Amino acid sequence: ALRKGSDLEKAFATAALVYNNYADPESKLSKAETKSLLQSQFWHFIQGQENKPKYQEIISSLDEESENKINFEDFMILLVSLTLMSDLLQEIRNVKTTK
């Protein structure tokens, strides 16, 4: 979709495409589907976070009220929240790239 886009634009386009591949015809995900998507597609960011209270709160909210569905906006907020608490983020910040 964004062949000539920036790396950041491509990253967000990829997130949208992954979400759309998992979403139902109403463009929503059940909480169980969201949890499954995170465990399969976001594993490196959530790995090792199991003991953090905020992570536990987020994941337990996905286990409750499974009939409620998540839209793309809520999904992106969830991704950003998990990224910010991830130990991997600090490792990424320490990597310097040259362009």
pLDDT in tens, 4-23: 889 889 989 999 999 999 99
Model confidence, pTM: 0.78
Interatomic CA distance for residues 84 and 22, integer angstroms = 23
- Residue 24 sits in a domain whose CATH number is 1.10.238.10
- In this model, does residue 53 exceed pLDDT 80? yes
pLDDT of residue 19: 95
Total number of domains constituting the chain = 1
- The residue segments making up the domain with residue 37 are 2-98
Burial 24-55 (b: 16+ CB within 10 A, else e): eeeebbbbebbbebbeebbeebbeebeeeeeb
> Does the pLDDT value for residue 96 go beyond 80?
no
